[in-house]
Amino acid sequence: MRSGLLALAVVTFAAGAVAQDSDVSSSSSSADMAQLIDQGYEIKAAAPNGAKFVVFLQKEKSAYACEFASVTNSRCKAIN
């Protein structure tokens, strides 16, 4: 399961995921990491990606992969 999630996240970020500055809803596919954590998403895993990390967050059946460059710079994309 985790290897599939990791592969999907890599493909998602290769396609150029872009964060939005608005609130995240269940129909939204982009967010930043702070918004997701505020909404109750939990960090499930992290993997290095060059100078950055890909962080996987999950809440119930919804999951996001976030490219984490610094404490204030992240971009996330829904992966399911």
The DSSP code sequence of 51-76 is: TEEEEEEEETTEEEEEEEEETTEEEE
User: For residue 5, is pLDDT > 70?
Assistant: no
Which tokens go with 11? 């493909």
Closest CA to 9 of 69, 70, 57, 72: 57
In sequence order, the β-bridge partners of residue 74 are: 68
- Three-state secondary structure call for residue 38: helix
Which tokens go with 49? 């990606």
pLDDT in tens, 24-79: 444 446 778 889 999 999 999 999 999 899 999 999 999 999 998 887 888 899 99
* pLDDT attached to residue 55: 93
Q: What is the pTM of this model?
A: 0.60
CB atoms within 10 A of CB 14: 8
